[in-house]
Amino acid sequence: SAVISQKPSRDICQRGTSLTIQCQVDSQVTMMFWYRQQPGQSLTLIATANQGSEATYESGFVIDKFPISRPNLTFSTLTVSNMSPEDSSIYLCSVEVGRTDTQYFGPGTRLTVL
Amino acid sequence: KQEVTQIPAALSVPEGENLVLNCSFTDSAIYNLQWFRQDPGKGLTSLLLIQSSQREQTSGRLNASLDKSSGRSTLYIAASQPGDSATYLCAVLTGTASKLTFGTGTRLQVTL
């Protein structure tokens, strides 16, 4: 398994600003993922963060809006840029451990944009 | 495109009842299926993972089955307790990039 922490746990931000969310894992992992959970909805994959290369974004998500960094095998950041109220969501990171195909999730960051 | 649906969307049962949550998916070419639990405002906790070659997995009072050919999975919870109250999500892993597609979730409330 893996222990995953996220910072901040929650934030309230003003429209037009940006927020960077950090994800830290207690072991080295190859694949890290960022998900968004809009109010009352299920989880949607934003992108896959690969160490040493650019993130791979899903349809509907672009790098200019959600830039991602992956400087090493235990850490990643997701920035939500030029925020609008529609960005109010829970943002979760997850990791795949070993070759089990099991994904473990962080506690999430609850973002509210006013 | 893979789509995952969960029925019912919400369920309320008295303590002690056995219950079944349903999950269906449109593309049967999956690697595995995973059931998660999400408490309000919290992240996800992995409950059970069933590989595509398996038919079921058990952990304590939980039993998950998988019928890959028909695109269905069920999560059986025995002797439900108030602490089981949460949203239950199923997710399927497809493709070569470890992409999880999540269902819409079932919100469970177990009452005293």
Percent of chain A with pLDDT over 70: 97
pLDDT of residue B92 exceeding 90 = yes
pLDDT-derived band of residue B1, with 50, 70 and 90 as boundaries? confident
pLDDT on residue A100? 64
Predicted confidence (pLDDT) at residue A101 exceeds the cutoff of 80: no
Determine the pLDDT at residue A103: 84
- Predicted confidence at residue B111, as pLDDT, reads 95
Tens of pLDDT along B33-43? 999 999 987 78
Would an 8 Å CB–CB cutoff place B44 in contact with chain A?
Answer: yes
pLDDT at A66: 97
Span A42-54, average pLDDT: 88
pLDDT tier at A97, thresholds 50, 70, 90: confident
Residue A21 has pLDDT above 90, yes or no: yes
Nearest CA in chain B to A5: B43
At A103, give phi and psi (nearest 5°). Answer: -105, 140
Q: How confident is the model at residue B73 (pLDDT cuts 50, 70, 90)?
A: very high
- A13's tokens: 């931000």
For residues A57-80, average pLDDT: 95
Minimal CA separation from B99 to chain A, in Å: 8
Q: What is the pLDDT of residue B97?
A: 63
Top residue of A10, A61, A103, A111 to mutate, by most chain B CBs within 10 Å, is A103
Task: Check CB contact of A53 with chain B, cutoff 8 Å.
Answer: no
Apex B11 CA angle, B7 and B17, nearest 5: 115
Residue A105 has pLDDT above 70, yes or no: yes
pLDDT tens readout for residues B11-48: 999 999 999 999 999 999 998 999 999 998 778 899 99
Extended beta strands in B1-112, E state: 4-7, 10-14, 19-25, 32-38, 44-51, 56-59, 62-67, 72-77, 86-94, 99-102, 106-111
